[in-house]
């Protein structure tokens, strides 16, 4: 069908860019993709075929690394005067000054798909910051919902980055810290895997997933998000507090009671989901060559295979 956006330009042909290009094309949008690998440097002012495509587009999606997006966005905002300009960065606070710095800019929208692009979008969360609240942005949000994404709108870039520091940076840091402890220990991964109870197995799976990813993805989340350092410091402080609590009689019940109070009514349903996950994990392991077990190979793409200027996935966690 013919879509109201008409022509669209997707900048960056990595996993995220290809996902959006495919979804838009399936929805009847005429899509053109540009990438460094095909001769387009988004850091440079748009010229030639690239500049003409931007000028005539109704929608531009930037699927680029954070380090490239700011410069590219400034060029796009001054060239694609009739388009809705959408970025897919995982850290948003650096984007807002670019919006503010272009007088008379076109409408903008900032999205963050919180899943690996290789996975089907149905039911997956996608954070959205809509600073304009205009009709073009609302049409794109409606598209996200029609594709089956679970749209989560946040007030502004500040709230977005605070949320991502908690659910991404803090989680990654906790998993990586355990990985660093295990890697520095005399135990082999076969020793640990062979006797690991379900929580440990889940952590090992997360370590395997993260260590297979692109370092740039995880570094962006830890370094470029202003609030990531607070999450890491909070983890360190919580561990120190736990050590102190365990020196006291009754320390563990107090810690668990505080966590249970925070979980509230979600505690039992989440606990049941965890039980089912552990059961599925036990059912999805196969014998390996050294007599232990190994998980069935993950069919999802490893997050963030950056190639050229393509934005790697930051949300497979």
CATH number (domain holding residue 117): 3.40.50.720
Distance in angstroms (rounded) separating the CA atoms of residues 52 and 268: 56
For residues 151 and 11, state if they share a domain: yes
Domain count along the chain: 2
Q: Are residues 55 and 108 in the same domain?
A: yes
Residues 54 and 27 in one domain: yes
Residues 167 and 73 in one domain: no
Please give the Cα distance from 60 to 20 (Å, whole number): 11
166 and 144 belong to one structural domain: no
Percent of the chain with pLDDT over 90: 71
The predicted model gives 171-191 an average pLDDT of 96
Q: Is residue 2 part of a domain?
A: no
pLDDT for res 303? 34
pLDDT value at position 290? 41
Q: What's this model's pTM, rounded to 2 decimal places?
A: 0.79
Among 114, 137, 156, give the residue marking a domain's end: 156
Is the Cβ–Cβ distance between 105 and 132 less than 8 Å?
Answer: no
262: its two tokens: 């925070």
Q: Within a domain: residue 126?
A: yes
Which position has the higher pLDDT, 118 or 205?
205
Residues 6+ apart with CB under 8 A from 61: 8, 9, 10, 11, 17, 20, 21, 24, 86, 87, 88
* Residue matched to tokens 């490893």: 302
Q: Are 161 and 227 in contact (CB under 8 A)?
A: yes
My answer on whether 36 and 80 are in the same domain is: yes
Domain-located, residue 200: yes
Separation between Cα atoms, residue 119 and residue 188, nearest integer Å: 32
Residues 189 and 78 in one domain: no
> Per-residue pLDDT tens for 135-171?
999 999 999 999 999 999 999 999 999 999 999 999 9
Residues 71 and 122 placed together within one structural domain of the fold: yes
pLDDT tens by residue, 271-316? 999 999 999 988 876 445 344 444 434 333 333 333 344 455 444 4
Domain assignment of residue 228, yes or no: yes
Same domain, 136 and 11: yes
164 and 150 assigned to the same domain: no
Give dist(CA 106, CA 118) in Å, integer.
Answer: 31
Average pLDDT, the chain: 87
Q: Check whether residue 216 and residue 137 sit in a common domain.
A: no
130 shares its domain with 27: yes
Q: Find the domain containing 213 and state its range.
A: 160-295
């Amino acid at each position: 069908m013919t879509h109201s956006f008409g022509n669209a330009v997707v900048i960056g042909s990595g996993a995220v860019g290809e996902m959006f290009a495919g979804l838009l094309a399936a929805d009847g949008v005429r899509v053109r993709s540009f990438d460094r690998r095909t001769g387009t440097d988004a850091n440079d002012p748009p010229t030639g075929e690239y500049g003409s495509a931007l000028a005539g587009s109704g929608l531009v999606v930037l699927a680029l690394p954070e380090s490239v997006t700011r410069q590219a966005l400034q060029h796009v905002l001054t060239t694609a005067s009739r388009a809705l300009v959408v970025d897919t960065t995982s850290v948003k606070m650096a984007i807002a000054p670019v919006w503010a710095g272009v007088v008379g800019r076109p409408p903008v929208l900032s999205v963050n798909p919180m899943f690996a692009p290789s996975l089907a979008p149905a039911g997956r969360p996608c954070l959205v910051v809509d600073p304009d609240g205009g009709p073009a942005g609302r049409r794109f949000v409606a598209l996200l919902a029609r594709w089956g994404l679970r749209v989560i709108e946040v007030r502004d870039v500040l709230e977005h980055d605070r949320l991502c520091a908690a659910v991404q940076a803090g989680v990654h840091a906790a998993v990586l810290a355990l990985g660093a402890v295990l890697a520095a220990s005399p135990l082999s991964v076969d020793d640990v895997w062979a006797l690991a109870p379900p929580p440990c197995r889940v952590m090992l799976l997360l370590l395997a997933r993260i260590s297979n990813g692109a370092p740039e993805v995880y570094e962006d989340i830890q370094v470029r998000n202003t609030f990531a350092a607070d999450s890491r410091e909070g983890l360190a402080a919580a561990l120190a507090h736990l050590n102190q609590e365990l020196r006291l009689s009754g320390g563990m019940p107090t810690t668990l009671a505080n966590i249970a109070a925070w979980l509230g009514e979600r505690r039992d349903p989440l606990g049941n989901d965890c039980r089912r996950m552990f059961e599925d994990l036990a059912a999805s392991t196969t014998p390996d060559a050294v007599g232990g077990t190994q998980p069935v190979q993950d069919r999802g793409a490893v997050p963030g295979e950056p190639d050229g200027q393509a934005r790697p996935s930051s949300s497979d966690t």
